[in-house]
Chain A
Amino acid sequence: MAEAQNIPVGSTTAGQIAVAAESTVATRMSAPPSFDVQDFPVPHGREEEWRFTPLERLRGLHDGTAVATGDGLKVDIDAPEGVVVETVGRDDARLGKAGVPVDRVAAQAYSAFEKAGVITVPKETVLTEPIRIAVHGEGGTSFAHQVIELGAFAEAVVVLDHTGDAVLAANVDYLLGDGAKLTVVSVQDWDDKAVHVAQHNALIGRDATFKSFVVTFGGDLVRLHPRVTYAGPGGEAELFGLYFTDAGQHQEHRLLVDHNTPHCKSNVAYKGALQGEGAHAVWIGDVLIEAKAEGTDTYEMNRNLVLTDGARVDSVPNLEIETGEIVGAGHASATGRFDDEQLFYLMARGIPADEARRLVVRGFFAELVQQIGVDDIEERLLVKIDEELEASV
């Protein structure tokens, strides 16, 4: 079933830290970052960054055969007053500032998009309502680029909602000015056939706070690559994720937090439930603490709950530390089964089997769901979880 490591919560520099000697964040990618797709060889599947991904299901996004079909996506943006919403050409200076594509599909997306979206929250603007970006797939193939920029001390919540059917490769940039606070909820609620591969780059300003929820339910193949770097000290990143992987689905979340600046914090918590034959979840949690990043405080955690036979989890936390002058660093990964004994215990208290399963899964996700803070999204998630569970009975 699962490759699971169990490392105690609260590990610090003095405790247990797994450093993968032969495979490091810097060396494991088969090519250095680049905006140009030609700089990346076509992957064959044995590369470290592709070894878990079924390339044959990428619909050509990785080998140059995928071609944009036009009108593949319908994008509706609902932004409160004070927010600037623009569509810009490829030469706009704000594109690509938050990060450089690190694999061939991200570079393909950068090389192929025609127009990009830029949403700006001016400095010191504090929004009380979320910015909603509804991306609905109309069945075609698309390459996209979206920038969300917050000026200094601006505060905003952004909901990026993906539905419908699409083959989509995208880059999303989050630029946080000094002292800015951004919460992003990215929901992947695709139809069954959708393929979605995206790199999310967050560049966190001095004393800025970035909170991200990645919620993946749908799609045939979803592969997301959230990355965080810091532009100044005092930055904080909280990266939360939930996924519910069903029969036949491949859902892959590959995170990198690059502590490249002193006195920054990061906290990563991803939780997934899996059920059904061929359900495959992949979680890669890379945290790099560079030599100059003294005073770093970081923790990352991945938990998986396997509900049936036939599902597979690959969970790989990887913490690399180049300085000992840090506040704390730890990681944990565990994959557990909702087992027959738990089911028996709950049923022996009169709770029917389907309700017992719902109780456990809702409970498993609750601590993350409750932190989202966007009511309609929280409610939709709970409904979604129930639907997924009903589909399995």
Chain B
Amino acid sequence: MATLEIRDLHVTVEADNSTKEILKGVDLTVKQGETHAIMGPNGSGKSTLAYSLAGHPKYTITSGTVTLDGEDVLAMSVDERARAGLFLAMQYPVEVPGVSVSNFLRTSATAIRGEAPKLRTWVKEVKETMQRLNMDPAFAERNVNEGFSGGEKKRHEILQLELLKPKVAILDETDSGLDVDALRVVSEGVNRVRESGEVGTMLITHYTRILRYIKPDYVHVFSAGRIVESGGAELADKLENEGYEAYTKGGPVSGANSEEDVA
């Protein structure tokens, strides 16, 4: 069973000629089949966690470990992490002019699967997956993320998630900027992948809204660069009612942040 283990992760970023520590000791274990919601106020470091796991060069790991099935993730290049089974659905997907969606998807699937997918079954697979995400087939001929609306970008991320079938999916604010219809479509896509039971999901979000569609097994509250409280789905209800104020003003809640609670 695939397991992502994050232990005491510290991450810094260079800004304005100074070094700032963003992550201050994150501990989290995500197993195949589990869904973990990471919730927290803006600026708490949620996205930094997502991008650090994917290997974005902007972030420097100063201490701690990340392993996927015992393999050292931090020693891998960005593409190696993806091929090992990590997937990051980005909050702000990047435009890649000149590269069509269909060419991109096929190149990516070839890299992840280790061989080019058979053309006939591949075309069918892409077409059906796009259909389920309410995406126009003409979409495949557009350039990656170029001129996409916010909703189209998110659907495109989830399309990739469904096609690439990672071991661990990190969804960075996939719900932000979506109207209710788009949120439902995107959530259904995520749920199809979850239902396979083969993916561990880290759902990073500011709002509880998406948790009505995607039911988490665990909810973690993220504040000031670490997990300050962990619980079950009921923790989300508390956040819904009370907001993050207790965490941003009062500091970490005692007893949280131990890995036993998380796993």
Q: Does A348 contact B (CB under 8 A)?
A: yes
Q: Does B47 contact A (CB under 8 A)?
A: no
Chain A residue contacts of B57, Cβ below 8 A: 340, 344
The distance in angstroms between the C-alpha atoms of A344 and B78, with both chains bound, is 7
Residues 226-252 of chain A, each 1 if its beta carbon lies under 8 Å from chain B, else 0 = 000000000000000000000000000
Across the interface, B100 reaches (CB within 8 A) one of A342, A352, A353, A363, namely A363
Indicate if the CB atoms of B100 and A344 lie closer than 8 Å.
no
Indicate if the CB atoms of A350 and B83 lie closer than 8 Å.
yes
Not counting A344-B54, A349-B82, A360-B96, a sample of 14 additional A-B residue pairs whose C-beta atoms are within 8 angstroms of each other reads A345-B96, A346-B96, A347-B55, A347-B77, A348-B54, A350-B112, A351-B79, A351-B108, A352-B79, A352-B111, A360-B97, A363-B96, A363-B99, A363-B100
Q: Does A52 contact B (CB under 8 A)?
A: no
Q: List which B54-71 residues lie within 8 A (CB) of chain A.
A: 54-57
Stretch in contact with the other chain, from B86-94, B221-229, B245-253: B86-94
Q: Does A364 contact B (CB under 8 A)?
A: yes
Indicate if the CB atoms of A349 and B111 lie closer than 8 Å.
yes
Indicate if the CB atoms of A363 and B112 lie closer than 8 Å.
no
Q: Which residues of A contact B (CB under 8 A)?
A: 305, 336, 340-342, 344-353, 355-356, 359-366
The distance in angstroms between the C-alpha atoms of A346 and B90, with both chains bound, is 12
The distance in angstroms between the C-alpha atoms of A376 and B144, with both chains bound, is 29
Indicate if the CB atoms of A349 and B108 lie closer than 8 Å.
yes
Indicate if the CB atoms of B90 and A345 lie closer than 8 Å.
yes
Residues 33-45 of chain B, each 1 if its beta carbon lies under 8 Å from chain A, else 0 = 0000000000000
Across the interface, A350 reaches (CB within 8 A) one of B90, B94, B98, B108, namely B108
Give the interface residue-count category, chain B.
20 to 34
Looking at the assembled complex, report how far the CB atom of B142 sits from the nearest CB atom of chain A, in whole angstroms. Answer: 12
Indicate if the CB atoms of B107 and A351 lie closer than 8 Å.
yes
Looking at the assembled complex, report how far the CB atom of B38 sits from the nearest CB atom of chain A, in whole angstroms. Answer: 18
Total of A-B residue pairs, C-beta within 8 Å: 80
The distance in angstroms between the C-alpha atoms of A365 and B97, with both chains bound, is 11
Indicate if the CB atoms of B103 and A363 lie closer than 8 Å.
yes
Looking at the assembled complex, report how far the CB atom of B126 sits from the nearest CB atom of chain A, in whole angstroms. Answer: 14
| A271 nearest CB neighbor, chain B only | B98
The distance in angstroms between the C-alpha atoms of A363 and B143, with both chains bound, is 9
| B98 nearest CB neighbor, chain A only | A363
Indicate if the CB atoms of B104 and A359 lie closer than 8 Å.
yes
Q: Which interface residue of A305, A336, A356, A361 has the most chain B CB atoms within 10 A?
A: A356
Indicate if the CB atoms of B94 and A341 lie closer than 8 Å.
yes
Chain B residue contacts of A305, Cβ below 8 A: 98
A-B contact list, 5 entries, CB within 8 Å: A342-B95, A344-B54, A346-B104, A351-B107, A363-B99
Chain A residue contacts of B171, Cβ below 8 A: none
Chain A residue contacts of B104, Cβ below 8 A: 346, 349, 359
The distance in angstroms between the C-alpha atoms of A356 and B94, with both chains bound, is 14
Q: Which interface residue of B55, B81, B94, B103 has the most chain A CB atoms within 10 A?
A: B94
Indicate if the CB atoms of A364 and B79 lie closer than 8 Å.
no
The distance in angstroms between the C-alpha atoms of A373 and B263, with both chains bound, is 60
Indicate if the CB atoms of A364 and B98 lie closer than 8 Å.
yes
Across the interface, B111 reaches (CB within 8 A) one of A341, A351, A362, namely A351
Q: Which interface residue of B77, B93, B96 has the most chain A CB atoms within 10 A?
A: B96
